[in-house]
Amino acid sequence: MSASPNPDPARRRAELAKIHIGAAQLLAGEEEYRDMLEAVAGKRSAGALDAAGRRKVLDHLKACGATFAPPKRPARARPEAEAAGLIAKVDALCINHPSGRKSREWAEAILRQMTKHPHRTPLEWAAPGQLHRLVQAIEVDVRRKKRGQHATA
């Protein structure tokens, strides 16, 4: 019973991936990549390398300037579902406004006043907190208009 040549397949895959990443950063083409493998580890294929050969190639690539940093995490995205729900609520409040249908531009003008932004502020660019305050402002306006309609009736 012989020992397995690759006791940790996950580590092997990770090392092969790093070799390919480093080669892509530093080498111009396939032939140059194969020549480097042969010069450093004696093989023309990274898949044929044993653990020591992969380590040699990785050390060589690092010495030549390859970087193997983990991928950067993207900035935390705005909660799209919450923002979409608030925009839908703003649209509904504008359509069903007691003093007649209001346009989306009307709501955007309120948002622009609230944020003190000098240019047009599309609802899609607003943060969820800003949209929440906009919904509250429109709801206050709706209550005022409804109160005014009942007083005159």
Q: What is the pLDDT of residue 152?
A: 61
86 and 29 inside one domain: no
Burial class (CB in 10 A: 0-12, 13-18, 19+), 10: exposed
Q: Which of 58, 118, 123 is nearest to 86 (CA)?
A: 123
pLDDT surpassing 60 at residue 153: no
The mean of the pLDDT values for the chain is: 87
Q: Report yes or no on 73 lying in a domain.
A: no
| Number of domains the chain is built from | 2
Asked if the model's pLDDT at residue 75 lies above 80, the reply is no
Same domain, 84 and 111: yes
- Whether 2 shows a pLDDT value over 50: the answer reads no
Residue 75 lies in a domain: no
Say if 69 falls within a structural domain: no
101 and 140 share a domain?
yes
Domain that holds residue 136: 80-152
Do 92 and 48 share a structural domain? no
Q: Are 137 and 110 in contact (CB under 8 A)?
A: yes
CB atoms within 10 A of CB 118: 7
In a domain, 110, yes or no: yes
Q: What's the mean pLDDT in 50-58?
A: 95
Whether residue 71 is contained in a domain is answered as no
In a domain, 30, yes or no: yes
Whether 113 and 148 share a structural domain: yes
> Is the confidence at residue 22, as pLDDT, over 90?
yes
Instruction: Tell me: do 25 and 57 sit in the same domain.
Output: yes
Is residue 56 domain-shared with residue 104, that is, in the same domain? no
Q: CA-based Rg of the chain, rounded to a whole angstrom?
A: 31
Q: Is residue 95 in some structural domain?
A: yes
Q: What is the pLDDT of residue 57?
A: 96
